[in-house]
Structure 1
């Protein structure tokens, strides 16, 4: 017996939704960064409480105990020429994590968040690193402040772009994605992560810089980064960002 596939599914597979199409649909929603941050904070507080009740792991921002153990393990398992036999990529400033609030703001608000991610979308040699937990947070936020259909289509599109990474449940999704995925840049709207004291503390444990989208866009220079990340002269953007 032949089972007919839903036509909308076939069309979606044959013609993947572009970021431009998603942005056009998202323009119909009146959402600001404060609303996104509020929904994300509420979701993560609930997730953290459930993790604590179930004995979940400590994240990179929780006392640093897990990072200290992981860093010690990495030092014991580093192979020739600095290769890491744990399978984690070597840290690179061309590998970037956008926190769930930035991902949602890119879609629904635009502004600095979109400008920051457009730089990455325009250069194929940069990498957006994101765990499933991080995308789940962003998807839930989009569904809450916009609608589930837009959230589902966004999830399919972002999943084709990001490089996935795994981390223990209970870890902060953005910081853990950076640590496990070799990302040296984290972009977030969370002021508790971008404050000078917190940023300095993180840099003592992780080779990472945490900035808000405006600050990231101001300092992230593909032209300066290209010679060390890829080699040769910078050729300019090499793909359509949307």
Structure 2
């Protein structure tokens, strides 16, 4: 549009404005703010970049507000320590490695995360989860952890998931269904690093990494989820990724 400005409408209600000079940049900001909208400055329009060039975790709202109003997509990173004073910790040999947890500490941490995830799924009224093929597994031998740390329920579900992963012909058609009564066992396997998968539904995504950080992505209910996190003595940070692409939403 014209020689000095180009306007492009993108996915998910984004509008991009390219200007050949910054002469009217402040005026444009005032117009956007007056309309109750939010802006972010880029050196080059995002739709001109290759997908891998866009840092999904670098998005911030240009006027300093990190939480525009409305029922939109949220992405929270939860940690067991204050993010400003956090040390790397992993589940493996417990107190035999640097920054490892002893068994009692691990159980306390696991219960915090486990109850949070269960409350989170209850809030969104999720009664079952569908797991698809291409899964990742780690054996007890690879973890170098005594077998008695794993319950019979965990072993049974672990074997069932492995069998599914090895025998399913088309995981896009045939999912492995986890009923509500097995949620606890599923997340115990994930927390201990024996099973790797993103848990996704139409309204949320759950991911857990090896350093006791939990990623919850969801639509709406932001204050309710934050209150759940704080209730269980955990810490949260909000991230602003490009919606959908950064968290695997379909």
TM-score, normalised with respect to structure 2: 0.23
Larger radius of gyration: 2
Report the TM-score when normalising by structure 1. Answer: 0.24
Which structure's residues are more often strand, by fraction? 2
